[in-house]
């Protein structure tokens, strides 16, 4: 699995400037089976849906909170609607999708547990990517700087940050247990988008992974 | 309303209803009656229409445009009655979002209209006189049935797209519900799955204005040589306000006086907005039939897609493979965004592929007819995506 990931990343670097978000999207896309039906929550400008459509031939739909993002997506021919992950997932029927993706949005939701439960109700699988608040740089800033951490990836000041529910990789694993989600795959990677060693222990991932991507499914 | 009296006489309007200028006409004889929701059959009847562009060899690039309440089929070419340009020329034409070099565009006049499709101003073959109130009450579904018969006539099985705003959007939704296999993509703009109580109320005020005009004569104004111009003009004035917005009216007119610096202390049109509305009313009666206005507003009132499907809108679209793009406008208070959101929820619940965009504008309901670059970009992008999925070639 890792070698394939690395190959994808190399291709991505050749195609465009490397950046945290893009590598993250490719790692998410890698977890989605070709030709499946996908709902992307927090579709942004539609980049992930575009990658999924072009590289994996998925039938993709999206929800996006910002009107500008939605209209940009629709003008690109993507099936995206304006909506809020916290309120609008309830309207979707059970088992409507093969995958429900929450890319870099979990920490901005009001009720992450409810959102994750809906994701696993609407889709057979869920893919969640999020910034790891347990990363050593963040720990150092809080422990020794004495202030709320700011990184290239999380540049906001605490008073205007949309991110209200940060968690560490370890915390997220607890949420998976609580919601009854089965972890099928997980990848953590550092600031350069390089995946950490697959056989590394959780504490290592939690300290050195800047971001994480989890593929989940319903237990049982 | 000074220029009302210079309006063309009633007989010329009746002629347009039977023999429309610059239009194609499909005639359906007694062997092909139209079964109406009212429980009666309309026969014979005709549908006037315009086409633009070329139908491809696969017959797969046809786009049906459904017009709004007071629109007509002259969508992208000059209107022979008013001499004005087509009502959606900003949207439809060579290189435009609905590209006539790529798609074959068909726009029919609605059933019940007065511009060449059978309606109350048309001649009733049974009596030789205009139908008037003897014309059966029609519904949005009847309009769509008639359009489907037109497509059969044109030998077009599947539409690449159906698009329209307001009452046109209702027809788009009805198309997707009645003939899902014949609609590849659908663009309902500024509409709803049902007419709200407020909208029915506005329509009732308009109808009462028409019927209160002594010249209406219970709909027999053609025979009696009268014309309910004042009533229809008042109906139009009221309706026109609902197509705009407080902000747009304020931006355009404010409290500005019309050709004067001080109020006249009379009931003359002191304010620009009064003068504008009077002009809207009087120019409308020159091109529209009063009875047609009654029938078409009624058809909108009766529209309730959920009621046809056990109260659940999602059932109307169950298993739909049509690609939808729903569009609303922030300042539209006739069909506000929550109405469009209800369509989107229903489509999501039925698993349909749907896009939804709300466009920020202060132009109100009429924004779909106006210069809205974001709307153009969205329609173009949506159709491009659908064309790719449909395997349509780029341009000619």
What pLDDT score was predicted for residue B5? 40
Cβ distance B354 to A81 less than 8 Å, yes or no, reads yes
Nearest to A68 by CA among B329, B192, B191, B374: B374
Judge whether A73 is closer than 8 Å to chain B, CB to CB: yes
Annotation marks residue B365 as catalytic: yes
Query: Domain A2-218, what architecture?
Result: 3-Layer(aba) Sandwich (3.40)
Residue B337's CB is within 10 A of a number of other CB atoms, namely 20
What φ, ψ does residue B381 adopt, rounded to 5°?
A: -65, -45
Return the biggest CA–CA distance within chain A.
48
Tell me the two tokens of residue A70. Answer: 């939605």
Q: Are B223 and B130 a contacting pair, CB within 8 Å?
A: yes
User: Does B385 sit within 8 Å of A77, measured CB to CB?
Assistant: yes
Helix A2-15 crosses helix A20-30 at what angle (to 10 degrees)?
140
pLDDT-derived band at B315, boundaries 50, 70, 90: confident
pLDDT of residue B393: 79
Contact B358 A76 (CB under 8 A): no
Domain coordinates in residue numbering, chain B? 13-193+305-390, 200-296
Q: Give me the sheet containing A59-64, strands edge to edge.
A: A79-82, A59-64, A37-41, A97-103, A123-131, A211-218, A181-189
- List pLDDT tens digits, range B147-196: 999 999 999 999 999 999 999 999 999 999 999 999 999 999 999 999 99
| Per-residue pLDDT band at A20 (split at 50, 70, 90) | very low
Residue of A79, A85, A95, A98 for testing the chain B interface, max B β-carbons within 10 Å: A79
* pLDDT at A24 (0 to 100): 82
Mean pLDDT across chain B: 94
What does the pLDDT average to over B289-298?
A: 98
- Domain definitions of chain A by residue range: 2-218
Residue B230 predicted with pLDDT over 80? yes
Q: B386, A77: Cβ pair inside 8 Å? A: yes
**To which residue do tokens 């009087």 refer?**
B282
Q: Which residue of A has its CA nearest to B377?
A: A75
The reply to whether residue A75 touches residue B380, judged by beta carbons under 8 angstroms, is yes
Distance from CA of A128 to the nearest CA of B (A): 22
Closest CA–CA distance from residue A127 to any residue of chain B (Å): 20
CB < 8 Å to B312, chain A: none
Average pLDDT over residues A124-145: 95
Interface of B with A (CB under 8 A): 323, 325-326, 344-345, 348-349, 351, 353-360, 374, 377-378, 380-382, 384-386, 388
HSE of A118 in the Cβ direction (CA atoms, 13 Å)? Answer: 21
A-B C-beta contacts closer than 8 Å: 62
pLDDT at res. B8 = 52
Choose the CATH number for B200-296 among 1.10.1040.10, 3.40.50.720, 1.10.150.80, 1.10.1740.110.
1.10.1740.110
For the beta carbon of residue A10, count every other beta carbon within 10 angstroms.
11
A161-170, B113-122, B247-256, B387-396: which has the minimum mean pLDDT?
B387-396
Q: What angle do CA A147, A151, A154 make, to 5 degrees?
A: 100
Q: How confident is the model at residue A146 (pLDDT cuts 50, 70, 90)?
A: very high
Residues of A in contact with B355 (CB under 8 A): 73-74, 78-81
Range B240-259 average pLDDT? 95
Is B203 a catalytic site residue?
A: no
Lowest mean pLDDT among A10-19, A112-121, B80-89, B387-396: A10-19
The rounded distance, in Å, linking the Cα atoms of B142 and B302 is 11
Percent of chain B with pLDDT over 90: 89
pLDDT at B351 over 90: no
What is each CA distance from B71 to A17, B194, B296, B315, in whole angstroms? 51, 20, 11, 30
Q: How many CA atoms lie within 13 A of B243 on its CB side?
A: 20
pLDDT at A192 (0 to 100): 72
Q: Which residues of B touch A80 (CB under 8 A)?
A: 355-356
Architecture in CATH for domain B13-193+305-390: 3-Layer(aba) Sandwich (3.40)
Which of the residues B166, B282, B292, B340 is marked catalytic?
A: B166
Rg (CA), chain A: 17
For residue A2, the model assigns a pLDDT of 32
Report the largest interatomic distance among the alpha carbons of chain B, rounded to a whole angstrom: 67
Interface test with B, best of A82, A87, A94, A96 (most B CBs within 10 A): A82
State residue A4's pLDDT score.
Answer: 34
Instruction: Give the H or E element holding residue B146.
Output: helix B140-153
Catalytic site residue B178? no
Q: What is the mean pLDDT of residues B74-94?
A: 96
> How sure is the predictor about B1, in pLDDT bands with cuts at 50, 70 and 90?
very low
Average pLDDT over residues B38-66: 97
pLDDT tens digit sequence for B355-372: 999 999 999 999 999 999
- Flag whether pLDDT at A93 surpasses 60: yes
* A120 vs A165: CA distance, rounded Å: 19
Residue A176 pLDDT more than 90? yes
- The ipTM is 0.80
Tokens of A188: 């953590």
Cβ contacts (< 8 Å) between A82 and chain B: which residues?
Answer: 356-358
Cβ-defined contact of B357 to A82 (cutoff 8 Å): yes
B323, B355, B388 member nearest A81 (Cβ): B355
pLDDT of residue A21: 43
- Over residues B341-350, the pLDDT tens digits come to 999 988 988 8
């Amino acid at each position: 699995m890792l070698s394939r990931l690395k190959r994808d990343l190399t291709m991505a670097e050749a195609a465009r400037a490397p950046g945290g978000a893009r590598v993250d999207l490719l790692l998410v896309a890698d977890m989605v089976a070709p030709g499946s039906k996908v709902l992307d929550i927090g579709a942004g400008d539609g980049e992930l849906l575009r990658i999924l459509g072009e590289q994996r031939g998925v039938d993709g739909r999206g929800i996006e909170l910002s009107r500008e993002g939605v209209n940009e997506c629709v003008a690109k021919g993507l099936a995206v609607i304006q909506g809020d992950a916290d309120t609008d997932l309830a309207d979707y029927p059970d088992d409507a999708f093969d995958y429900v993706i929450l890319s870099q949005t979990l920490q901005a939701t009001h009720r992450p547990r409810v959102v994750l439960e809906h994701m696993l109700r609407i889709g057979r699988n869920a893919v969640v990517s999020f910034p790891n608040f347990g990363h050593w740089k963040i720990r150092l800033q809080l422990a020794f700087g004495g202030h709320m951490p700011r990184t290239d990836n999380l540049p906001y000041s605490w008073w205007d940050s949309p991110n209200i529910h940060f968690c560490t990789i370890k915390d997220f694993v607890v949420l998976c247990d609580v919601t009854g989600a089965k972890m099928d795959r997980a990848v953590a990677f550092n600031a350069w988008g390089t995946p950490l060693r697959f056989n590394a222990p959780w504490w290592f991932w939690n300290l050195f992974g800047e971001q994480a991507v989890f593929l989940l499914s319903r237990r049982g | 309303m000074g220029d009302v009296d210079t309006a063309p006489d009633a007989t010329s309007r009746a002629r347009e209803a039977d023999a429309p200028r610059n239009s194609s006409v499909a005639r359906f004889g007694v062997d092909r009656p139209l079964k109406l929701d009212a429980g009666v059959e309309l026969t014979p009847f005709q549908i006037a229409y315009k086409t633009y562009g070329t139908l491809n060899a696969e017959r797969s690039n046809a786009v049906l445009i459904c017009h709004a309440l007071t629109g007509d089929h002259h969508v992208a070419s000059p209107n022979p009655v008013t001499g004005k340009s087509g009502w959606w020329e900003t949207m439809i034409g060579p290189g435009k979002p609905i590209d006539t070099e790529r798609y074959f565009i068909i726009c029919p006049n609605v059933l019940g209209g007065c511009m060449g499709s059978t309606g109350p101003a048309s001649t009733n073959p049974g009596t030789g006189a205009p139908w008037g109130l003897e014309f059966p009450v029609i519904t949005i579904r009847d309009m769509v049935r008639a359009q489907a018969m037109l497509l059969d006539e044109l030998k077009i099985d599947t539409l690449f797209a159906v698009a329209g705003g307001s009452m046109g959007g209702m027809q788009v939704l009805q198309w997707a519900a009645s003939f899902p296999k014949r609609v590849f993509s659908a663009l309902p703009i500024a509409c709803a799955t049902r007419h709200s109580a407020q909208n029915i109320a506005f329509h009732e005020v308009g109808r009462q204005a028409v019927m209160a005009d002594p010249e209406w004569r219970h709909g027999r104004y053609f025979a009696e040589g009268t014309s309910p111009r004042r009533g229809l003009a008042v109906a139009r004035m009221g309706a026109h306000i609902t197509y705009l917005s407080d902000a747009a009216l304020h931006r355009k007119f404010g409290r500005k006086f019309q050709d004067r610096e001080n109020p006249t202390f009379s009931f003359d049109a002191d304010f620009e907005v009064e003068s504008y509305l009077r002009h809207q009313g009087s120019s409308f009666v020159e091109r529209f039939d009063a009875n047609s206005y009654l029938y078409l507003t009624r058809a909108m009132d009766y529209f309730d897609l959920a009621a046809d499907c056990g109260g659940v809108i999602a059932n109307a679209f169950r298993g739909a493979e049509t690609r939808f793009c729903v569009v609303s406008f922030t300042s539209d208070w006739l069909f506000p965004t929550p109405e469009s959101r209800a369509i989107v929820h229903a489509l999501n619940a039925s698993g349909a592929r749907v896009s939804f965009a709300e466009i920020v504008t202060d132009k109100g309901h009429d924004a779909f007819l106006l210069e809205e670059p974001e709307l153009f970009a969205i329609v173009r992008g949506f159709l491009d995506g659908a064309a790719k999925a449909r395997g349509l070639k780029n341009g000619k």
